[in-house]
Structure 1
Amino acid sequence: MTKERSRSFGRAAAAYEKHRPEYPDEIVHLVREYAARPIRSALELGAGTGKPVDTSTDGMHWPATELVGDARFVDLRETVLEQRLTFARADWIGYLSTVSAYLVLSEEDRAAAFAAIGDVLPDAVDVHADVTLHLARRV
Structure 2
Amino acid sequence: MSQRALSFGMIAAAYERFRPGYPDELADLVMAYAGRPVTTALEIGAGTGKATRLFARHGVAVTATDPDPAMLAELRKHVPANVTTVRAAFEDLRPGETYPLVYAAAALHWTDPSERWSRMAALLEPGGVFASVGGPLRLCDPALEEAVTEARRPFIADDTIPAPDGTPSDAPMQWPGSELERSEWFRDVRQEVIPRRVVLSARDYAGHLSTVSAYLMLPDERREQVLGRILEVLPETVELSGDLTVHLARRIG
TM-score under structure 1 normalisation? 0.87
Q: What is the CA distance between 1:5 and its match in structure 2?
A: 2.1
The structure 1 residue matched to 2:228, chosen from 115, 125, 132, is: 115
- The one-letter code sitting in structure 2 at the alignment partner of 1:83 is R
Query: CA separation in 2, counterparts of 1:17 and 1:87?
Result: 15
The yes-or-no answer on 1:50 pairing with 2:110 is yes
Once the two structures are superposed, residues 38-71 of structure 1 have per-residue CA deviations (whole angstroms, 9 ceiling, x without a partner) of 1243111344383822431782520101111123
Partner Cα distance (1:132, 1:4) in 2? 26
SS at match of 2:3: helix
2:177 corresponds to: 64
Partner of residue 12, structure 1 = 11
Higher relative contact order (CA 8 A, sep 6+): 1
Show structure 2 runs of 5+ residues with no match.
41-99, 112-160
TM-score (norm 2): 0.50
- 1:12-34 superposed Cα distances (whole Å, 9 cap, x missing partner): 22111111111121011111111
Identity %: 43
Answer 1 or 2: which has greater helix percent. Answer: 1
CA contact (8 A) 2:18 2:207 kept: yes
The CA distance in 2 between the partners of 1:111 and 1:57, in whole Å, is 30
Per mean C-alpha deviation after superposition, the further-off stretch among 3-12 and 69-78 is 3-12
Matched to 1:125, the amino acid is V
User: Which of 183, 186, 195 is 1:73 aligned to?
Assistant: 186
Q: Which amino acid aligns with 2:228?
A: A
Q: How does 1:93-132 map to 2 (within 5 A)?
A: 93-132=206-245
Q: Matched residue pairs, number?
A: 138
1:136 aligned counterpart, secondary structure: strand
User: 1:100 deviation in Å?
Assistant: 1.2
**Change beyond 3 A, Cα 1:132–1:90:** same
CA RMSD of aligned residues (A): 2.2
Residue 74 of structure 1 aligns to a residue in which SS? strand
Residue type of the alignment partner of 1:11: M
Q: CA deviation at 1:132?
A: 0.7
